[in-house]
Amino acid sequence: MMGKLILVRHGQTKANVAKMLDTAPPGAELTELGHQQAESYARTWVGHPPAVLVSSIALRAKQTAGYIERATGVPLVVTEGIQETYAGDLEDRDDPAAHKEFTEVFHRWHTGDLAATVPGGDSGHSVLERYVPVLDALRAQNLGDDTAGDVVVVSHGAAIRLVAAVLAGVDGTFAADNHLDNTQTVELLPLPGGGWACGKWGTFLPPFEGQGSEKADNPIS
């Protein structure tokens, strides 16, 4: 059986607890709970280690992936391009107005307006332009017909949700409204001839339309 791509959100950080828009690397470190979450997630890989383990350049992603590396012996590769959607002028803010502005742009991306831009930060297009080539390369190198191991990528909630929804054609309303908790995953299955199918989104299984929350979600918290 061909392996799959597993996109993992990092463990809880001090910025998550403080509700800060923390998107620029290196960013905040894991909390004690975040370390526990990462260690618990890593244990799920003992006995069937992934073929490849990658993390973003952010400290929280590297710390989370480090537990998987130690549990499995699979060396961690730290990679540019798969960091969180950049909050720009809103960086490090914790006020409701900043969260509202970021969330509104995020929701515009999921309704097809990828040109919408966080002031001083990312557009939907810029996130995809740096993130997708990394996944394309990982797929080409590790998810061919003659390989069976999974590829684990430890990254960030907002970026994972946008990229996964676009690549796998996940309903935009579902993707925008359904949070990924710390160390939850999105699983993408490579399709013959190219393309992806989404096999899991947090606790949800396909079909995703009509499932989960019906209210706007803050993608960073």
Tokens at 128, concatenated: 């995809």
Query: Cis (ω within 30 of 0) for the bond into 190?
Result: no
> Which pLDDT band, with edges at 50, 70 and 90, does 145 fall under?
low
Question: How far apart are alpha carbons 59 and 95 in whole angstroms?
Answer: 23
> What would the mean pLDDT of 173-200 be, rounded to a whole number?
94
CATH homologous superfamily, domain 5-201 = Phosphoglycerate mutase-like (3.40.50.1240)
Instruction: Give the model's confidence band at 219: pLDDT under 50 very low, under 70 low, under 90 confident, else very high.
Output: confident
Of residues 43 and 148, more confidently modeled:
43
Average pLDDT of every residue of the chain:
94
State what percent of residues in the chain have pLDDT above 70: 95
| pTM for this model (two decimals) | 0.95
DSSP assignment string, the chain: ----EEEEEPPPBHHHHHT----SSS-PPB-HHHHHHHHHHHHTTTTS--SEEEE-SSHHHHHHHHHHHHHH-PPEEE-TT-SPPP-GGGTT--SHHHHHHHHHHHHHHHTT-TT-B-TTS-BHHHHHHHHHHHHHHHHHHH-STT----EEEEE-HHHHHHHHHHHHT--HHHHHH----TT-EEEEEEPTTS-EEEEEETTB-S--TT-S--S---S--
**For the segment 10-49, what is each residue's pLDDT rounded down to a tens digit?**
999 999 999 999 999 999 999 999 999 999 999 999 999 9
* End-to-end Cα distance, the chain: 36
Tell me the pLDDT tens digit for each residue of 75-132: 999 999 999 999 999 999 999 999 999 999 999 999 999 999 999 999 999 999 999 9
CB 142 within 8 A of CB 190: no
d(CA 124, CA 4): 24
